Chain A
């Protein structure tokens, strides 16, 4: 196997087998799972509260309430009273027919509006049946009375509709959130990893086996592999969750109501935003490796990372301002600065403040910056990593360049 790939494999396996990586992957899934369980519990609790006994001898009452989840036919008023006393039900409703008129009396805890509406609709339906029977109408008259209007929607597809923009903006912020989280996590992972290695002489053994430049490439590939693994786990988990969501109480309603929006967000993930975010992540990893190579102790890695973290924060904060005003000078300039542009340019494209050509130019600048940074840091990396003197970062940097 190619030595660069051996290093990549070692870096990757060491990363994914660590407890910190497993916890990092599991914690958001566990958080969502707990939220779902709470949702399910809440849903089932609310289902239990909507239990009402139906006491009536009116013909057709059982049929009318047959499909109801709330109302259950009781044959005995005594049983209903007993169940209410024991808090097994929320109440009972006694329905009587006096002549052709139905009357209903409810006893118990206050019903929620949905249950009240269901009771009212079903009693109206039953009363209408009685009314029609009393009117003794012919079949033709009954059909005429049941005539309903027809309504059809003929919608025009609009690529720039508000819904579409909302979906795109939401997609972008999903990506921004992912970028922000991954960048913060993996800059620390690679910087600490490299700073830890730097303090050891094993790097001399490794650099006596392969060019330090190739070792750097292997490291970066290994960490990118960790990121891909984390994303793959989330994609599989999300796909499984999304496909099974219709059968999850407490979630099914939300997913059903927002399915078009969710589908649109998923479709939009493969847009400009994704490309910008991948490049930003690669730039972050390259410079985090550089920062890790500058310090002599692992505990100084976070200190060395500060400039990158500040740039990420600036990009994140600026992206918030671009939502309202994506055409000001700051937005225009920053949308061409590598790393920050990944937070700005995709939003400007979504909002119509930048064209695809401008996005293309910005992405080319970012790619050139990423490739240039990679080549430069790859070249000076061996010199930096072989400095083990406990001196400040600037001196390490100068000494590394002088090797």
Chain B
């Protein structure tokens, strides 16, 4: 379990993190979301002791120590491997730094290459692999030693949807294994799909912290998705509707002033008849993110 209490960090006179407090439980995935430069990477760097900070960061109820290095798997934001090394040598070197023997690392590698569907052999040089396969190799280096705490900084950036799916499967397997996982991503659908909890950070301040469902529901069921033969002008005239937009699939999205208007609109639109779609939802994380990222915390 990872616990962060009152984390503050300054570079010179510029403070970049303000009393950041959250925790990540074993067997759960925490999504860290925020704009570029909001402080996500600095939080990761603080956890890994790359930077000095004030506040408390505990892993399993003790401060990070040399003994914890082997229990951590970290995938940095930008991918970087040694291009002239072979896949086997690269993984073996990084795995040895995580406490695995060379023999053990090379024994585990084929299974990982198969699971992640890496195109290439263990004797191929890193530079000969495609960008996507290099990224998978780096994820193998992050996970091969079965870390208890996994930190993934934008793990899906630059990957095609098929490979994103493969990597998501691997991450969920790690969660099932009981690992504590914390990862950042700009794609909110990835966060919603994978994460149990979400921490939203804006300009170094935490603006939201909790389970994905709780956070979404706290904003109320103010979105209605509806398929009807009535046009947008008619829908906009309905009581409690703030705005109407047409979705790509042909349905309409109504934004309500209050969740309570949902029932009235349902009754008005159906009039006791069949309706193909009527779905009342809370705002998506993406909407919440845009809402919160635009708010000045002061």
Contact = CB atoms under 8 A, between A and B. Distances in A.
Contacts of B78: 201
Contact of B97 (A206, A212, A403): A206
B97 A3 contact: yes
A6 interface: yes
Contacts of A1: 96
Contacts of A204: 45, 48, 50, 74, 76, 80
Contacts of A205: 74-76, 80, 94, 138, 141-142
A202 B97 contact: no
B97 A201 contact: no
Interface in A1-49: 1, 3, 6-7, 10
17 contacts: A1-B96, A3-B96, A7-B97, A200-B80, A202-B82, A205-B74, A205-B94, A205-B141, A205-B142, A206-B94, A208-B151, A209-B70, A209-B94, A211-B69, A212-B50, A382-B50, A386-B51
A208 B96 CA distance: 13
B288 interface: no
Nearest to B98: A209
A383 B75 CA distance: 19
Interface string B149-169: 001000000000000000000
Interface in A194-229: 200-202, 204-212
A205 B72 CA distance: 10
Contact of B80 (A7, A202, A208): A202
Contacts of B141: 205
Interface string B33-63: 0000000000001001011100000000000
A382 B48 CA distance: 12
Contacts, number: 63
A208 B70 CA distance: 9
A212 B138 CA distance: 20
Given A3-B96, A205-B75, 13 more contacts: A7-B97, A10-B93, A200-B80, A202-B80, A204-B80, A205-B76, A205-B141, A208-B73, A208-B74, A209-B72, A383-B51, A386-B51, A403-B50
A201 B69 contact: no
Interface in B76-134: 76-82, 93-94, 96-98
Contacts of A207: 48, 50
A38 B189 CA distance: 76
Contacts of B50: 204, 207, 212, 382, 386, 403
B69 A402 contact: no
Given A3-B97, A399-B11, A208 B82 contact: no
B69 A209 contact: yes
Given A3-B97, A209-B94, A402-B12, A201 B80 contact: yes
A252 B141 CA distance: 58
A212 B48 CA distance: 11
Nearest to B9: A403
B51 A403 contact: yes
Interface of A: 1, 3, 6-7, 10, 200-202, 204-212, 382-383, 386, 399, 402-403
B248 interface: no
A201 B82 contact: no
A402 B15 CA distance: 12
Contacts of B76: 201, 204-205
A201 B79 contact: yes
B271 interface: no
A386 B74 CA distance: 15
Max chain B Cβ within 10 angstroms of own Cβ: one of A1, A208, A386: A208
B97 A6 contact: yes
Contacts of A10: 93
Contacts of A386: 45, 50-51
A237 B151 CA distance: 51
Contact of B77 (A201, A209, A402): A201
A145 to B, nearest CB: 82
Contacts of B77: 201
A6 B98 CA distance: 11
Nearest to A386: B50
Nearest to B89: A10
A209 B11 CA distance: 24
A383 B72 CA distance: 20
B66 interface: yes
Interface string B9-28: 00110000000000000000
B94 A211 contact: no
B44 to A, nearest CB: 9
B96 A211 contact: no
Contacts of B73: 208
A6 B74 contact: no
Contacts of A212: 50
Given A205-B80, A211-B66, A403 B96 contact: no
Contacts of A382: 50
Contacts of B93: 6, 10
A295 to B, nearest CB: 18
A359 B45 CA distance: 47
B69 A6 contact: no
A210 B97 contact: yes
A319 B66 CA distance: 46
Nearest to A10: B93
A205 B153 CA distance: 12
A209 to B, nearest CB: 4
B16 to A, nearest CB: 12
Contacts of B52: 403
Contacts of B69: 208-211
Contacts of B151: 208
Contacts of A201: 76-80
A4 to B, nearest CB: 10
Contacts of B97: 3, 6-7, 206, 209-210
A262 B77 CA distance: 60
In this complex, the member of A3, A204, A399 whose beta carbon has the largest number of chain B beta carbons within 10 angstroms is: A204
B61 to A, nearest CB: 20
Contacts of B80: 200-202, 204-205
